[in-house]
Amino acid sequence: MANEASVARRVALTLVSDVLEAHRLLSEVLPKRLANLPVEDRARAQRLATVTLRVLDRSDRMLGPHLKKRPPARVMNLLRLGVAEICEEGAAPHGVVNAAVEIARSNRKTAGMAGLVNAVLRKVADESAKWTALPVPRLPKWLRKPLIDDYGKPVVEAIEAVQATSPPLDLTTKGEPRALADRLGGTLLPTGSVRLAAAGQVSALPGFASGDWWVQDAAAAIPAQVLAPHPGERVLDLCAAPGGKTMQLAASGAEVTAVDISPTRMARVAENLTRTGLTAELVTADALEFEGGPYDAILLDAPCTATGTIRRHPDLPHAKDGSDFPGLFTLQEHLIDRALGLLKPGGRLVYCTCSLLIDEGEEQLRDAKARHPGLVVDRSALERPGIDPGWISDEGGLRLRPDYWAERGGMDGFYIACLRRGG
C-alpha cells in the first residue's frame, strides 16, 4: 500500500515541478505523466499536485521558519507536497514523512537531503494547528493588479477566498436535473446544473458509463442556455473542444456543427458524444478559416486566458505570466468578426470566455459594436433561471465571478453576451 501511494506521490512531484520549473500547464503534461498509471493512482497523483499548487503560498509560510536557505527545487517541491498532504488533506504525518524521505533517498541528487526532509516535515506536522490561521493565498501580482483595477480589492479578495478551497463537481444532464441530483445525492443549482460536494472517481459514478451526464462547471453550462437553440436549427459551435457545450446544443435537437483546431481535443469531443449517445458534425479546422453556413445560431467559446478557472486549475498562475495575453485579445476580435460572417441575417451569436479580464469580455463587446454598426446586444437572452440581474453589466453582457455562490462552492469566472446580426 505504501509503495502504491509512493508511486502517486512521485508522479505528483513531477507534475508540480512541470508547472513550477518548466512553466507548463497541467493540461499539457497530464496525458504523458499519467499514461501508464492505474486509474486510482492517476486520480491520486493529479489530486495531490492540484492541492499542492492551490495551497503553495501557505505551504511556503509553514516551511519558511524551518529552512535556513531554500533547498534545490525538487526538494522544495517535495516538502511542499508533504505539507499539503499533512496540513490541507489531513493525512497521517508518519506515512507522509516516510514516503517523502523514501522519495528523496531514491534520487542521487536529493539523497543527501533526506535528513532535511525528515526533520522539516516532522516539525511542520507538530505545528499543523497553525495552518488554518494562515492568510488566504493571493494571486500573483501580474494578475492581481489588473483584477483589482477592474473590480476593486474587496472583490479580488473574495475571489481569492473561493479559489483557496477545493471546488465541488458540477454535472450537466440530458435528462431531468432534479432526478439526477436525487440519484447522486447532489444539489440542484438554480441554473439547472447538479453539484456534488465529494464526487470521488468520476467514471465510477452511476450514469457515467451510460452517458446520462457529463462534467461541466455550472458557469460553463450557461452560454449554451443563453443561445437557446431550437430543434432543427443549424447551430455552429466554434472552438468546441472539449465538447460540453457541443453536447448541450446536440441535446436540444439542433443540427450541430462543432469546429476546433486540435485533432487531439476533437477526438475527445467524439468520445464524449459517443458516450452520451448524441450526434454532431465534427470538423477539425482553424475557426478563422472555416467555411460554412450561414447558421441560425453560433456559440463562440473563444480561446482566452482562462483566468476564470483558477479555482479548478490552480496551476495557471504559476505556469503563466501574462505575456501571451495581448495575442489572445487580438485573436478574440478576429474570431468575433469571423463568426458574424457565418451568421444568417437576424441570427444570434453567443460570445463567451472563461476569463475574469475585462479586456476579454466587456471591452470585446464594446469594440465589436464599434466595428459592426447595427449589431444588437440581446439582453433578454440573459433572462434565464438562476441568473441574478445584478450579474448583467452595463453594456449588456453577463459577468460571472468565482465569488458568486461562494456559500455553495463558487463558480468559474465567465463573460457571456448574446449578439444579433441585423436582418
**Total residue count of the chain as it appears in this document:** 423
User: Average pLDDT in the 276-287 region?
Assistant: 97
- Residues involved in catalysis: 354
Task: Give me the phi and psi of 215, to 5 degrees please.
Answer: -80, 130
The beta strands (E) that lie in 222-328 are given as 234-238, 255-260, 281-284, 295-301
CA angle 341, 344, 346 (to 5 degrees): 115
Residue 293 confidence (pLDDT): 86
Give the cell for residue 409: 462552492
The fold of the 222-420 domain, in CATH, is Rossmann fold (3.40.50)
User: Which amino acid is residue 306, in one-letter code?
Assistant: A
Contact indicator for 336, 300 with CB cutoff of 8 Å: yes
Query: pLDDT tens digit string along 66-100?
Result: 999 999 999 999 999 999 999 999 999 999 999 99
* Residue 162 near residue 402 (C-beta atoms within 8 A): yes
Q: Is the pLDDT of residue 2 over 80?
A: no
Backbone Cα Rg of the chain:
23
* Helix intervals (H) in 21-72: 26-34, 39-54, 56-63
| Dihedral sign computed on CA atoms, order 56, 76, 39, 267 | positive
| Residue 22: pLDDT over 60 | yes
Q: What is the mean pLDDT of residues 224-228?
A: 98
Q: Does domain 2-133 have CATH number 1.10.940.10?
A: yes
Interaxial angle between packed helices 73-83 and 93-105, expressed in degrees from 0 to 180 and rounded to the nearest 10: 160
DSSP structure class, residue 47: H
User: Do residues 174 and 276 lie in contact, with contact meaning Cβ atoms separated by under 8 Å?
Assistant: yes
The domains of the chain are located at 2-133, 141-170+177-213, 222-420
Q: How far apart, in whole angstroms, are the C-alpha atoms of residue 15 and residue 51?
A: 12
Across 290-314, average pLDDT: 96
The pLDDT tens digits of the residues spanning 353-393 come to: 999 999 999 999 999 999 999 999 999 999 999 999 999 99
Q: Which three cell numbers stand for residue 91?
A: 493525512
Mean pLDDT of 223-246: 97
Distance between CA 168 and CA 178 in Å, rounded? Answer: 17
Report the distance separating Cα 13 and Cα 22, nearest Å: 13
pLDDT of residue 421: 83
Rounded to an integer, the average pLDDT of 303-329 is 94
Residue 184: other Cβ atoms inside 10 A: 20
Three-state secondary structure of 308-366: HHCCCCCCHHHHCCCCCHHHHHHHHHHHHHHHHHCEEEEEEEEEEECCCCHHHCHHHHH
